[in-house]
Structure formats: C-alpha cells, structure tokens
Structure 1
Amino acid sequence: MWDSFPNVRRYEPEPDPVDTRLGVRLAELRAERGWSLGELAERSGVSKSTLSRAERAEISPTASLLNRLCGVYGRTMSQLLSEIEAEAEPAPLVRSAGQPVWEDRAAGFVRRSVSPPHPGLRGELVEGRLAAGADLAYDRPPVPGLEQHIWVLEGALDVTAQDVEHHLDTGDCLRLRVWGPTRFRCAGPDAVRYVLAVVLP
C-alpha cells in the first residue's frame, strides 16, 4: 500500500528515551571489556541478535534480560539504571518525583527506585509492582550473595529461592541472601505491591 504513495513517509515511533540511554550504556559496558557480541552472548546466554537490538534500542529490554546482563557486568539492576540518569550523584534526599521508574510491560512488572544506589552506601530500596497473574523469574543474582528483604505492602506474593517457595501476605517480610535462581509471582487475584531492600555483600 505504502509503495503507491512514494511521497508519504511511513510513521515509525521514536525509541523510548530511557531505552536509548540504556542501549548506549550497555554498549559502553561491553566495549569497556573488549567483548564482541558473540562473547557477551556466550557469557550471558542471550542471543547476539537480541543483544544487538537492545544496544540499538530497537527493543525494550525485559527484567529477565537486564538481570542476566547485570550478572555478567557485576552490578544490580538499580545500579545499571542509575548510571543512565542525568545526575551523576543522586541527592541525599530523593523526592518522589525524582525516583526513577522502569517498566517491563510484557511481564506486568513496574519497579520504582525509591532509594537509588549511591556512592559509599551498600543498600538501596525498590518498590515493586506485579500485575495479577504476573510471574517473574531470574536465573541468577546480579551479585552472588546479595542480601534482600522483601516486605509486602498490598496483595500476596510467592517468592521462590533455593528451590523453596515462600508465600507472603500483606505485612509479611522475607529475608534472604540470593545465590541462585529466584522467582516472584503475584499470588492473588489483584496486583501486589512490595518493598525490596537490597544490600551488597
């Protein structure tokens, strides 16, 4: 159809600015290590085509994809996302409007970095929201031995770690160190909202 109108330009949506900055940073991290796309694919278990499209902001990376890359690059997801923010040094007081929000639409997952990573601090605070039926699996921790405290604010959440499933209702808190795969699943008919406190080992 479009070939019949040579002077009409096909509309192509602009890449999301966050995805663009994220793609640039991912490419920088790979270049800093002198890795080819093939080498990164072997280390992360992600295909070269997916890695290439993520670096060029042709796709919006999923939480699972970012988790794999964070594991390879030795940083938490919040650290990676904070590196693409305009401010090099987050202020001691983080206003609500200045808390970075990232969304994995395909997985039904939204994360707000309430207290982003800061130089000299080992902890960070994240608000997570999973839509009803959402099921999020990570095949490895971004940093082995990462300390996590998961506090459910609203709804119900099933968390699986070290092959043990923990059911959390509103007000419950789970404390653990992460060494292997984890899974977060919305366990109720409505969305679940929780706080995730992360402390580097």
Structure 2
Amino acid sequence: MGIPEAARDEVEVRLAGRLARLRGERGWSLEELSGRTGVSRSTLSRLERGEISPTAALLNRLCAAYGRTMSRLLAEVEAESEPPALVRAGEQAVWRDETSGFTRRSVSPPHPGLRGEVVEGLLRPGADLAYDGPPVPGLEQHLWLLGGALEVTVGAAVHALGPGDCLRFRVWEGTRFRCPGPDPARYALLVVLP
C-alpha cells in the first residue's frame, strides 16, 4: 500500500488547500468552523496552511461540518476532473494517519452521479479510531473483514468481527473501530449515501 513520500506530500498540500477553499466557499471564519467542529482555531489554521496533517478523527469532524464523506473529500483532493470508470490499483488514492495506525485506500472513489463507493481499510494492531458522529447522517455502510480481528462499535452496540464476517449498519451516531491484534485488521467498506 505504499506510495512515494513526494506524492504523499503533494496530497497533503492539496488537502490543506481544499479544506481552506471549503471554509471560504461557506464564508465561515476560523472561529465559526472551530465552533462547528470543536477543533481549535490555531489547529484549523495550521491545517489549512499545510503545517500539520489531520488525524482520521479530525478529518471526520471537518467532513461532518462540510456534509461530505471522507472519501468524497479525498476524491475532490485527488482529481479536479471527473474520475475514470476504471481505477487501476496503482492509481487508487491512499491516505495514512500514522498517529492512529490507519491506512485508507479509495478503491472505487466517489462520483457526483453515484451514491456508493468502496474503501479498503487497514488498522495496525492496537489501533483504535473513534468518530464522534457520521460525516453524513444516515450513511449506510457494509464492512467486510478480510483479515485479522476487528471490534466495531456503532452507537452502544459492540460487534466482534473475524475474517469473512460482514457488518451492515447505518450511521446516526458515534462509531469506533479497534484492532485487538495480534495481526492487522484489513477490511473492505462499502459506503452508500442516504
């Protein structure tokens, strides 16, 4: 799942620019965005200037404020033109949150005319991702665990998944993804907009 560091740096620069443009399109000040996300003004400013990389949880908060999925935001960052029908493995966008141990590959990136997308996730052992809420309320997800073990919490319900298990759910509240190990958890996630 590796991509060259120069390409990863370029993605980070484009992500910073896209986040700044989204705030500008809405006419929000850093203060207003801070109030909507619970993220400090200084962190938002540093993020928009490309001085820091967002964690998955931080990016999820921003996506919720802007009403889009993480995949949709990353697809906007990746291409200014309409995405191709065929996405070769080597051309699929990969995003890493080194802090939390999460790697995300946009296998079938979102498209403005379609409601579904496919994402590959990889959580290293011990990784624990918690999201306060969905980026888009009512988001439908189908998580198919391909390898390792994964604990998924949706609201108050905790689900322990083993290889081959599939969990279907709609996201209305917080979620948590935890890899108890000893192996990484690798999964396919099908995301469908409401």
TM-score, with normalisation over the residues of structure 1? 0.91
Match of 1:79 in 2: 72
Partner of 2:97: 104
- 1:187 Cα deviation from its structure 2 partner: 2.2
Letter matched to residue 125 of structure 2: A
- For the structure 1 residues 22 and 148, does the alpha-carbon distance in structure 2 shift closer, same or farther, using more than 3 Å as the test? same
| Corresponding position: 1:156 with 2:123 | no
Q: d(CA) in 2 for partners of 1:114 and 1:19?
A: 19
| More deviation, 80-89/40-49 | 80-89
- Post-superposition offset of 1:86: 3.3
TM-aligned CA deviation for residue 87 of structure 1: 4.7
Distance in 1 (CA, whole Å) between partners of 2:81 and 2:193 is 20
Cα distance in 1 between the residues matched to 2:10 and 2:55: 16
Q: How many residues align?
A: 188
Identity %: 69
Preserved contact between residue 124 and residue 181 of structure 2 (Cα < 8 Å): no
Match of 1:92 among 82, 85, 89: 85
Q: What amino acid is the match of 1:41?
A: S
- The one-letter code matched in structure 1 to 2:46 is R
1:165: which partner in 2?
158
Q: Does 1:23 align with 2:16?
A: yes
What whole-Å deviation, never above 9, does each CA across 1:74-109 have from its counterpart, x for those lacking one? 000000001111351111111101110000000000
> 5+ unaligned residues in a row in structure 2: which ranges?
1-7
Q: Distance in 2 between matches of 1:87 and 1:44?
A: 26
- Offset, 1:119: 2.3
Partner of 2:28: 35
Runs of 4+, deviation exceeding 4 Å: none
Q: How does 1:119-158 map to 2 (within 5 A)?
A: 119-158=112-151
Higher helix share: 2
1:17 to partner: Cα distance: 1.4
Q: Residue 183 of structure 1 is aligned with which of 171, 176, 179?
A: 176
Distance 1:169 1:150 in 2: 11
Equivalent AA in structure 1 for residue 24 of structure 2: A
Q: Distance in 1 between matches of 2:129 and 2:57?
A: 8
Report SS of the residue matched to 2:14: helix
Report the Cα offset of residue 20 of structure 1: 0.9
For the aligned residue pairs, the C-alpha RMSD in angstroms reads 1.3
2:56 corresponds in structure 1 to 63
Pick the aligned partner of 1:118 from 111, 129, 134.
111
